[in-house]
Amino acid sequence: MDVLKIVKEHLPAEQPVRVKKISLKVGKLTAVVPDSLKFCMEVITKDTEAEGAEILIEEVPLMVQCQACGEKTELAEPVFICPKCNSPNLAVISGRELFVESIEVEEGES
């Protein structure tokens, strides 16, 4: 619901528009399943300016940096151990994202 609210807040107020595309960024380490989010967006945009809009979800890999040796790694599994030096002290550098990146609108139609 908050996604739709954010989209609506960013629509130009002057004229009726139709939203063609909504681009979202979703990190791997979030409680969000892209397919479910897509389905959910299709349902809640019904009868709004965003009905039928393409929902584009870019998944952001879970990247960590080892605080001991500095190695940057992408984690495919949630095991937080540095593959280079085995240190468990890892900082998450990406993968917690959940935001609306951009929207594409078509003017002149409602």
Partner 1 sequence: MEIKVVKKVLGVNQAIAEDIRRLLKEKKIFMFNMMSSPGAGKTLILEKTISALKDEFKIGIIVGDICTTKDSERLSKTGVPCVQINTEPFGGDCHLGANLIQAALQDLNLDKLDIVIVENVGNLVCPAEFEIGEDKKVVVLSLPEGEDKPLKYPLMFRVSNASIINKIDLEPALDVSRKKFAENIKKINPQIALFEISAKTGEGFNKWLDWVRKSAKAKIS
Q: Which of positions 79-108 make contact with partner 1 (CB under 8 A)?
A: 79-81, 88-89, 92, 98-107
x/- map, 11-50, partner 1, by CB under 8 A: xx-----------x----xxxx------------------
Alpha carbons 68 and 48: distance in angstroms, whole number: 50
Interaction between residue 8 and partner 1 (CB under 8 A): no
E strand map for the chain:
17-27, 54-60, 63-66, 72-74, 90-94, 98-107
Residue placing its CB nearer to partner 1 in the complex, 72 or 97: 97
Tokens of 88: 């468990």
